[in-house]
Structure 1
Amino acid sequence: MPRPFSYWLSGLLLTAALPAIAHAEVPEYGPQLQGFDYPYTLKHFAFESQGQSLEMGYMDVAAHGKANGRSVVLMHGKNFCGATWDTSIKALSDAGYRVIAPDQIGFCTSSKPAHYQYSFQQLATNTQQLLKALGIQKATLLGHSTGGMLATRYALQYPEQVEQLALVNPIGLEDWKALGVPYRTVDQWYERELKLSADGIRTYERNTYYGGRWKPEFDRWVDMLAGLNKGPGHTQVAWNSALIYDMIFTQPVYYEFQNLKMPTLLLIGTSDTTAIGSDIASPEVKAKIGHYDVLGKQVARLIPQSTLVEFPGMGHAPQMEEPAQFHQALLAWLNKTNPVR
């Protein structure tokens, strides 16, 4: 039944009466996020890959509490950076862990090569080289979003080096192309990425990452992403982002969850609706993808040694939305499943 005009008028007057939310001018950061402050000392690992000299930005944070001799490697998501793990780094360090938080090639403080064949295997290899250089032979992996796909691939590629695997709202819990999501070319992704704006990022993050809610501290992460995309490396950043989206869409890990050998924790915000390409999918396809309240349970049944922890009503980034609740669950599982050395 149509709403009466008085209903819309009252809503309009109410909206007009609300104070406007002013957002400060978005800063501009360099192509390797120069100018953005990281929560811990930022270092760079130089290495050769695909005939190029590249460098990975990373943080290596020692145990602040009583050291337990274990290391945790944090793998960030597509629109995230090592810096967005700030509360997780502190929680894990305080609990006695050494924490390594790299920025993958193509992201954040790392190189943005003009030509690079992106694959999860390549990114896993890069990360393994970093850990080897740091003298880390075995570690626990904690991967979020796209970092969950990477952590899964790493665990499949180097199973003897992974003691525990924890996945936070990982994408790749379904194969979108097999479910009917249309293919978007790298050129199309590139044109899309060139148009990113702070307002668009904020709206998407509010709806997807935080279940429609917002806290002032989230603005820092909007500025981080928007400032990187707006800066002097604008086209460079957009091109690498397009290549990475193509990797995510075309290289599913879904069919190999059953092959994971180590204890695995799924940490799932149930209100998450993330699904690559859902914006161009048909209404029928869009309706059946991105249901994390269902996907978490389905994938937990596929992984041999899995534990599922759900955060009802939370979005794509529970570690940022409610850090205390998230880290309590994570640390309890880590303590429970610590392998005997």
Structure 2
Amino acid sequence: MASVSSAILSTPPIIPPAPSPYVRFASLRHWFSRSEQTSEAAEARLLSRLAYFTLGGKTLGTPADSKTTAKVGLVDLDNNGIRKINTLVIDQKGNDFAIDSGSISSLLSSSKTDSHTSEDELLGFTHIPQTDLKVQSNTTTVNESKNSSIKNLVMCHGFGAGLGFFYRNYHGLSQVPGWKIYSIDWLGMGRSSRPRFTIKEKEVDKYVEETENFFVDSLEKWREIHKIDKMTLLGHSLGGYLAAVYALKYPTRVERLILVSPVGVPRNPQNDPEFHNSDGRSIRQIPGWVIRLWNANFTPQLILRWLGPLGPSLVSKYTSRRFSHLEEVDQLDLHDYIYHISTATGSGEYSVTRLLEPGAYARKPLIDRLHEIKMPTTFLYGEDDWMDFRAAEKAKKLMNVPVKVERIPDAGHHLYLDNPTEFNRAVIKEMLEVSNKS
């Protein structure tokens, strides 16, 4: 069982409420207040919606008999402070689990449109923080005891995101009996450390491999520290691409792969017209200036940093438009979180132009590699996803393991935020299949 401890500052600062991006001068306030502490506070505001989230040893709103605990902190990969992976661990106390199999069946059969059950009740969180947020600056130490009966779900975010993006999913997924939930920020992203990102190789195949190893080898080191023998690995978008690459390189450590709207599956139609023509779609023409900026490592995060005090208002326009279906307080907290993790020192973000060509096509497409996958694999897409699910259907025909391709209704690329109830249901089904086969 994991023991995750928090290091508390001798004089812990008070985390201020998230400032509204719609208030005059909010952009200046965000810009001047940027720091690791404000980034941590923004993440904590999202996670504090979980009643059992513990920060600095304090948890308000948690029943005395709660069987679930959640803590977040930095895991030092090399004991030198240079490479740290931000990690959320959600665990069950002792050998008891939150709910029994009958309750799980009830959850799976529930519908978010049930007249007597609100979506928030199904998801298990409120929009009002449950946890005292006066303590911050956490580091995480791990002292794992091997327990082969415990299953592990490891969740990995996509480009420009972080583990806070799954805040609407953690409660439901953590209630599956016999499972421990881990969620990480990729090295160089989110609230993980930001080592200098330099690629020495010049040939495409070699610099793609070097870039992939930056992430998957750090994930493997993280796994070794946590003494996780096998995991169900879930990755979204770029995180799905990297999860697939990890499963290819370390197949004995992944017992099931869940690729959530993964980037990089199809070939670039510009380079493979025959493959493209089977779709009957016209090829998108990308302006030359976009290609030049892309190849020069211009990223959205770099632009935000250059914009200075104008950056927060740009993020606000994005969050209010893309996540308009969320409560306003959720939009504000997401805005705050996205801005702070995006304007931290540039590092892992520069990988995107090494792994992907303009237009978000992989330089080494997964469709040419997925036939080597050794474990059951599930693809999840939103019905309104800009990522084309048909690429997964094509990959399925080439793979030699059980493969599912499912689409989540009323959801786009961020399907876990757009329709968390149906997303959770789809993931829980995969978790139960793993449990039943063990």
Please report the TM-score for the alignment, with normalisation by the length of structure 2: 0.60
Residues in 2 aligned to 1:242 and 1:337: alpha-carbon distance in whole angstroms: 33
Q: Match of 1:228, as an amino acid?
A: I
Please name the residue that 1:299 is paired with: 395
Question: What is residue 373 of structure 2 aligned with on the other side?
Answer: 260
- Does the 8 A contact of 2:155 with 2:184 survive in 1? yes
Decide whether aligned partners of structure 1 residues 214 and 148 sit closer, same or farther in structure 2, where only a CA change above 3 A counts. Answer: same
What SS does the corresponding residue of 2:264 show, helix, strand or coil? coil
For 2:215 and 2:304, the matched residues in 1 are separated by 21
Q: Residue 71 of structure 2 is aligned with which of 10, 32, 41?
A: 41
Q: SS of the residue aligned with 1:334?
A: helix
Cα distance in 1 for partners of 2:406, 2:425 equals 11
8 A Cα contact 1:138 1:161, kept in partner: yes
Tell me the CA shift for residue 60 of structure 1. Answer: 1.5
Q: Which position in structure 1 is the counterpart of 2:426? A: 329
**1:75 CA drift (Å):** 0.7
Counterpart contact for 2:384–2:413, Cα < 8 Å: yes
Match of 1:126 in 2: 218
Return the offset for 1:325.
Answer: 1.3
Q: Which of 68, 82, 89 matches 1:53?
A: 82
CA drift of 1:146 comes to 1.0
- SS of the aligned residue for 2:247 comes to helix
How has the CA–CA distance of structure 1 residues 204 and 271 changed in structure 2, closer, same or farther, with 3 Å as cutoff? farther
The alpha carbon displacement at 1:200 in A equals 3.7
Match for 1:158 among 233, 240, 250?
250
Moved more, 307-316 or 246-255: 246-255
Distance 1:173 1:71, change over 3 A: same
Q: Cα offset for 1:157?
A: 0.8
Aligned residues: 295
> Alpha carbon RMSD of aligned pairs, Å?
3.1
Query: Equivalent residue of 1:247, what SS?
Result: helix
Give, in whole Å, the separation in 2 of the partners of 1:47 and 1:330.
29
User: What do residues 34-57 of structure 1 show as CA deviations (whole Å, max 9, x unaligned)?
Assistant: 3324324222111249x9832111
Corresponding letter in the other structure for 2:98? G
Q: Partner letter of residue 215 of structure 2?
A: L
Structure 1 unaligned regions, length at least 5: 1-20, 274-289
**3-state SS of 2:82 partner:** strand
| In structure 1, distance between residues paired with 2:221 and 2:341 | 26
Give the C-alpha shift of residue 328 in structure 1: 1.1
Amino acid corresponding to residue 35 of structure 1 in structure 2: A
Candidates 352, 356, 362, aligned match of 1:245: 352
Tell me how far 1:152 sits from its aligned partner.
Answer: 0.3
1:76 to 157, 167, 184: 157
Shift of the alpha carbon at 1:206? Answer: 6.5
Alignment match, 2:141 = none
Moved more, 253-262 or 170-179: 170-179
CA contact (8 A) 2:319 2:334 kept: no
Q: Hey, what's the Cα distance between the residues in 2 that align with 1:22 and 1:35?
A: 16
Paired amino acid for 1:324: T
* Larger displacement relative to structure 2 (256-265 or 242-251): 242-251
Q: Deviations over 1:113-150 (max 9, x none)?
A: 23444622231111111121112110100111111011
Cα 1:110–1:191 change in 2 (3 A) is: closer
In the TM superposition, what whole-angstrom CA distance separates every residue of 1:312-336 from its partner, at most 9, and x where no partner exists? 4421111111111111122123323
Amino-acid identity (%): 18
Amino acid at match of 2:266: E
Q: Is the 8 A contact 2:408 2:419 kept in 1?
A: no
- In 2: Cα distance, 1:246 partner to 1:146 partner: 12
Provide closer, same or farther for how the CA distance between residues 340 and 214 of structure 1 changes in structure 2, counting only shifts above 3 A: closer
Counterpart code for 1:79: G
Q: How has the CA–CA distance of structure 1 residues 163 and 266 changed in structure 2, closer, same or farther, with 3 Å as cutoff?
A: same
Distance between the aligned counterparts of 1:172 and 1:123, measured in 2? Answer: 16
What amino acid is the match of 2:84? Answer: E
The whole-number CA distance in structure 2 between the counterparts of 1:269 and 1:140 is 21
Are 2:143 and 1:30 equivalent residues in the alignment? Answer: no
Counterpart contact for 1:29–1:36, Cα < 8 Å? no
Q: 1:22 to 1:226 in 2, by over 3 A?
A: closer
Change (3 A) 1:157 1:191: same
Deviates further, 22-31 or 157-166: 22-31
| In 1: Cα distance, 2:390 partner to 2:320 partner | 21
Q: Deviations over 1:249-284 (max 9, x none)?
A: 1454332122111111111013222xxxxxxxxxxx
State the alpha-carbon separation in 2 of the partners of residues 174 and 203 from structure 1.
31
> Which letter maps to 2:391?
L
Q: 1:222 aligns with which of 306, 322, 335?
A: 335
Contact 1:121–1:157 (CA<8 Å) still a contact in 2? no
